[in-house]
Amino acid sequence: MIAFSDSYKRFSKNILFLVGLCIFTVFSSELYAHGVDENTREFLKANQGLAIGPFLYIGAKHMVTGYDHLLFLVGVIFFLFRTRDVLLYASLFTLGHSLTLLTGVLASIQVNPYLIDAMIGLSVVYKGFDNLQGFKHLIGFQPNPKVAVMIFGLFHGFGLATKLQEFALPKTDLWKNLLAFNIGVELGQFFALTFILIVLDYWRQHNSFYTFSTATNTLLMSSGLILFGYQMTGYLLK
C-alpha cells in the first residue's frame, strides 16, 4: 500500500511537472513569434511562385509549434473518451479554421493581429472554463460545445490568415500554396492530436487524472488569460 502511494505521488509530480513545463513555454520569446521563425520568414518574403513542399512543411510546423492552437486542442479533447467524438470535434475545428484561413488570404480580409490572437487566447480560457462546468454554475446551462469549437476554429483560422498576409504573398499560384499550407496544418494537427491523446490515455488510467483535472483546466484558463493580456498589451502599446 505504501509502495503504491509513493508511486502515485511520483506519477502525480511528473504530470504536474509536464503541465508546468507546457505553461512555461508560453513565456518563451521564441514561441511568441507564433511559429514563424527567421528561416520561415525569409522564405515567405522571397517566395515568388508555386512551392507545395515548403508550404506543406510550414503549415505543419506552424500547427505543431503554435502553442495557442495546441492549448485549445488540449481543452477540447480533455474529457473526450471516444474516438468518434475526438474525430468529430477535430473535424469541426478543422472546418472552421480552414474556411477563414483560405477566405481571409484569398479575399484579403484584414484583421488586427493583436486582437485576433487575443480572441484565440480567450478561446483557451473558454474551453478550460467549460471543462470545469463553469457555465452550468454561472448561467445554468452549457453552451453547445460543438458550435463553440466551430466558432473558435474560425478565429484560429483568421489568426493563421493574418500571419500569412504579413508577407504579401504573390498572387501567382497563391491558392495552390495556401491549399498546401492548409493541408500541412492538418497534418501537424493530426500529429499533435496523436501525441496529446497518447499522453491523456495513459494519464486516464490513473486516479490522478481526475484528482488534477480541475488544476489542469485552471492552468489552461490561466495560460489563455496570459496570452490575452500579452496580445492586448501589444495592441494598446502599438
Is residue 140's pLDDT more than 60?
yes
Mean pLDDT of the 14-30 span: 46
Tell me what the pLDDT averaged over the chain comes to.
84
Is residue 33's pLDDT more than 50?
no
Residue-level pLDDT at 117: 93
Q: Cβ–Cβ contacts within 10 Å for residue 210, how many? A: 10
The confidence band for 24, taking pLDDT boundaries of 50, 70 and 90, is: very low
Are the C-beta atoms of 62 and 36 separated by less than 8 Å? yes
The confidence band for 4, taking pLDDT boundaries of 50, 70 and 90, is: very low
Would you state the torsion angle of the CA atoms of residues 183, 106, 150, 232, taken in this order, to the nearest 10 degrees? 110
Residue-level pLDDT at 36: 64
Q: Is the pTM of this model over 0.85?
A: no
Torsion sign over Cα 95, 64, 119, 127:
positive
Is residue 40's pLDDT more than 60?
yes
Residue-level pLDDT at 49: 79
Share of the chain above pLDDT 90, in %: 61
Rounded to the nearest angstrom, the gap between the alpha carbon of residue 210 and the centroid of all alpha carbons in its chain is 23
- Residue 96 corresponds to which cell in the numbers above? 472552421
Is residue 181's pLDDT more than 50?
yes
**How many Cα neighbours within 13 Å face the side chain of 86?**
19
The confidence band for 54, taking pLDDT boundaries of 50, 70 and 90, is: confident
